[in-house]
Amino acid sequence: MMKNIKQTEYANRLIILTFALIFLVGATGLVTVWLRHGIATAASETRAMEVRLNEVDRALARVNSEIAAGLNPSFLHQQIERFDLDLRRPDDEQIVRLGTPEVFDGLAGESGSAIEGMAYREGGGERSR
Amino acid sequence: MTPALASSCRLGLLGVVMVAGFCGIGARLYYLQVMESEQLALIAEGNRKQVIVQSARRGNIFDRRGNLLATDRTFIELGVDPQVVRDEDRPQWAELARIIGVPLEELEEKMTARVGAGDSEFAEDVRLVRWRKLAEGLDEPTYERIRELGIRGVYGNRQYRRVYPGGELAAHIIGFSNREGVGVIGVENAMNFYLRGEDGWVESERDGRRRELMQFRSREVPARNGLDVELTLDMMVQHVVEEELRRVVDEFSPQGAVIIVSEPGSGRILGLGNYPTFDLNQYSRSDIAHHRNRAITDVLEPGSTFKVVPVAAALNEGLTDPEQVFDCGVGQVEYRGRRLRLPADHREFGELSVEDIVRVSSNRGAAFLGLMLGENRLHGYAEAFGFGSRTGFPLLGEVRGTLHPVRAWDGLTITRLPIGHAVSATPMQIHYAMGALANGGVLMEPRIIERAVDENGETVFSFPPAARGRAVSEFTAETVSEMLVAAAAPGGTAPQAQIDGYEVAGKTGTTRKIIDGRYSNRHHVASFSGYFPASDPRVVITVIVDEPASSGPSYGGVVAAPGFRRIGVELIPYLGIEATRPEQVLAQREGGGL
């Protein structure tokens, strides 16, 4: 009688362990599948972003080259003539060279004491008193 | 047969069939997994695995102010797979034909031709057409419009192509790279190693639709894009140079022309233009002779521009001074026991000081200075000014010109070399020889590449100014400069080079070309090389015009010097060059000029 009970106990334990093992293996499988799916999804997203980045790079290169073509002096001259803008380069009279005393004198003469004060402010201008 | 026996026979038979089946499967598995395993594994791996090459982007080329001169751009090659074209898309074909600019009939023919001739010798052999090119060079927006039409089987392949936004601008400097991405000429060639970058690769797996399964990437070597190259060139200065070249061509219809603008102190080239030129975006359609950078590949006799060498040499050696007078009316002289005929001048001069020799460009005066120097010293100074050796310009094709060793001179060379005959030089050599005087006597190496930078804008390496050596002392250079100011003033050979308010120093050159072994009276090379302001030179400008078609004499002062002036006037406001004689500018302005 004792022997039968022990055998039943052993069999029950074996069944439980088997079920547990099946559950564990199944769970591991499911987790693996879930992880792989996650990795695949993340990889796809990365790939999509890579493609998008490449597209942006391509667009940027296109825009940059079009801007460069638009800044070509010959093209700009054509545009000036086309739109009859009558633009000319500045002559020497219109050019004020920074860092020369004439600049400060001229500014002070034109705009009064406020600019003069700024130009001669202690430590603030090139010509501090 | 009892039912029990029948049942047992059936079971036995079933068992045998099952065993045989399993044996068959086992045998097949053994064949696949053991006998053919290696080959099949290779096929499976080949189907699954792939190596994707990631192309490196070729670096850009910029001018010194960051203006883009060369870059890579994608273009689409559009094609069709006739096997998957659907009839229901036919209404869209007209619009597609309009977008890509081909006749509808031609498009229909390409869209519907599903078979083509095979490669074998049999006439009946045909192959299925899976790709037929419809158009190439389409940009992304155009391709997007085509995709929106939703025509099945029509798709494009992206191709990177080099584009040059300036077209002809600085064509000979920038150069071009071919369809394989290899630089052929110009900076594209000289800096190819740095511009090209290194392709990367990815080892990965793909699914049944040949899409990459990114999660199975096993090895990845990222592409390393090429470095960007910054030139010393200034796009605006280059434009001014090329505008002047156009003007020279319109006025004189020459065989060729070269203009170089550089900074004397650093040797930086700000602008360099050649005629004839070509469009970099259509280099394959241009004459290959137009690809030649004449500034470094062509040689000419420098003529009178060379006279600065004997003058500077004689002054530097202390053999003469600016006031010493020579009788330039004499046609023959005694030299080391021989009677030598002196070269003729373009008009009769009497006594001339050294200053006057430079001012009026006297051949005999220069010959006298050559005789004073003697063969070895004259040759040595010519070398010191860079003649007979390459300037060190980094682009392909530079020649060294000809400066014969003294032992190879004939009896006349001592009087002909000082006037720029019996020597040949490239425009670049002439330009930098003049630049040495502008730079206090120090001969600089030409610089066209400023630096190479990585994607983050960090300088990877730069090319600092490099001196080739001292040609003459600073004092001598200043003295010659003063003489050259007189040459470019009223009474000199090139008053047309004068710029109001600025001291211009320069020297004209007019050389007869050698045609059929003789100096021609009709074929000339006119040149002017100079700099300004003479007291503190900011730019050196050289204008050389080969065979100008002029109604009058093709003197350098008439043909080339005005070009120098026009370029100088344009550069003054752009480079902020201050007047050295402001009262002249003022007087000119009040007089309504400038």
Judge if B538 and B411 occupy the same domain. Answer: yes
Q: Does A47 touch chain B (CB under 8 A)?
A: yes
Do B139 and A97 lie within an 8 Å CB cutoff? no
Query: Among B198, B162, B200, which Cα is nearest to B61's?
Result: B162
Whether a cis peptide bond, with omega within 30° of 0, leads into B533 is: yes
Spatial contact of B442 and B404, defined as CB atoms under 8 Å apart: no
pLDDT at position B302, please? 94
For residue B225, give its domain range: 50-73+165-231
Rounded mean pLDDT of B555-582?
Answer: 89
Q: Output the domain CATH number for residue B375.
A: 3.40.710.10
Closest Cα in chain A, distance from residue B71 (Å): 7
Q: Output the domain CATH number for residue B62.
A: 3.90.1310.10
In chain A, what residues touch B239 (CB-CB under 8 Å)? 73-74
pLDDT at position B551, please? 65
In this prediction the ipTM stands at: 0.76
d(CA A74, CA B236): 10
Cβ neighbours, 10 Å, residue A57: 12
Who among B73, B236, B578 is closest to A61 (CB)? B73
Closest-CA residue of A relative to B158 is A58
pLDDT at position A86, please? 85
Spatial contact of B366 and B307, defined as CB atoms under 8 Å apart: yes
Rounded mean pLDDT of B172-176?
Answer: 96
The two beta strands, B61-62 and B228-231, are: parallel
pLDDT at position A103, please? 60
Q: Does A36 touch chain B (CB under 8 A)?
A: yes
pLDDT at position A2, please? 63
Q: Does B583 touch chain A (CB under 8 A)?
A: no
Between CA B332 and CA B337, with CA B335 as vertex, the angle to 5 degrees is: 110
Who among A44, A46, A62 is closest to B73 (CB)? A62
pLDDT bin (cut points 50, 70, 90) of residue A100 is: low
Q: Does A90 touch chain B (CB under 8 A)?
A: yes
Judge if B219 and B268 occupy the same domain. Answer: no
pLDDT at position B121, please? 58
Judge if B297 and B225 occupy the same domain. Answer: no
Judge if B480 and B338 occupy the same domain. Answer: yes
> What residue segments make up the domains of chain A, in order of their start?
2-87, 89-129
pLDDT at position A101, please? 63
Do A59 and B72 lie within an 8 Å CB cutoff? no
Q: Phi and psi of B509, rounded to 5°?
A: -150, 135
Closest Cα in chain B, distance from residue A69 (Å): 4
CB proximity under 8 Å: B 143-162 to A: 158
pLDDT bin (cut points 50, 70, 90) of residue B2 is: low
Do B69 and A62 lie within an 8 Å CB cutoff? no
Q: Does A59 touch chain B (CB under 8 A)?
A: yes
**Domain membership flag for residue B417:** yes
d(CA B327, CA A113): 66
Spatial contact of B496 and B565, defined as CB atoms under 8 Å apart: yes
Judge if B341 and B227 occupy the same domain. Answer: no
Closest Cα in chain A, distance from residue B470 (Å): 34
pLDDT bin (cut points 50, 70, 90) of residue A122 is: very low
pLDDT bin (cut points 50, 70, 90) of residue B503 is: very high
Judge if B253 and B221 occupy the same domain. Answer: no
Among A39-43, A116-120, B10-14, B494-498, which stretch is predicted with the lowest mean pLDDT? A116-120
Q: Phi and psi of B362, rounded to 5°?
A: -80, 125
Tokens 């972003």, located at residue: A49
Q: Phi and psi of B376, rounded to 5°?
A: -65, -45
Tokens 């030299």, located at residue: B335
Query: Among B335, B339, B358, B320, which Cα is nearest to B506's?
Result: B358
Number of domains composing chain B: 2
**Percent of the residues in chain A that have a pLDDT greater than 90, as a whole number:** 38
Judge if B194 and B295 occupy the same domain. Answer: no
CB pairs under 8 A between A and B: 78
d(CA B579, CA B566): 16
E strands along B110-249, which residues?
Answer: 115-117, 126-128, 132-138, 154-163, 200-206, 212-213, 219-221, 228-231
The two beta strands, B459-462 and B449-453, are: antiparallel
Residue B538 pLDDT greater than 60, yes or no: yes
Do A62 and B585 lie within an 8 Å CB cutoff? no
**Domain membership flag for residue B16:** no
Query: Among B499, B489, B487, B495, which Cα is nearest to B573's?
Result: B499
Rounded mean pLDDT of B349-378?
Answer: 94
Residue with the bigger pLDDT between B123 and A3: it is A3
Do A47 and B239 lie within an 8 Å CB cutoff? no
Q: What share of chain B is helix, strand, coil (3-state, %, to 5)?
A: 40, 25, 35
| Residue of A50, A54, A65 best to disrupt the B interface, most CBs of B under 10 A | A65
Judge if B403 and B351 occupy the same domain. Answer: yes
For B306-338, how does the pLDDT look when each residue is reduced to its tens digit (9 = 90+)? 999 999 999 999 999 999 999 998 889 998 888
Cβ neighbours, 10 Å, residue B39: 9
Judge if B298 and B345 occupy the same domain. Answer: yes
pLDDT at position A127, please? 35
In chain B, what residues touch A53 (CB-CB under 8 Å)? none
Tell me the three-class secondary structure of B320-347, residue by residue.
CCCCCEEECCCCEEEECCEEEECCCCCC
Closest Cα in chain A, distance from residue B168 (Å): 10
Judge if B208 and B280 occupy the same domain. Answer: no
Share the mean pLDDT of chain B. 90
**Percent of the residues in chain B that have a pLDDT greater than 90, as a whole number:** 69
Share the mean pLDDT of chain A. 79
Query: Among A100, A99, A73, which Cα is nearest to B168's?
Result: A73
Spatial contact of B506 and B560, defined as CB atoms under 8 Å apart: no
Query: Among B11, B532, B55, which Cα is nearest to B264's?
Result: B532
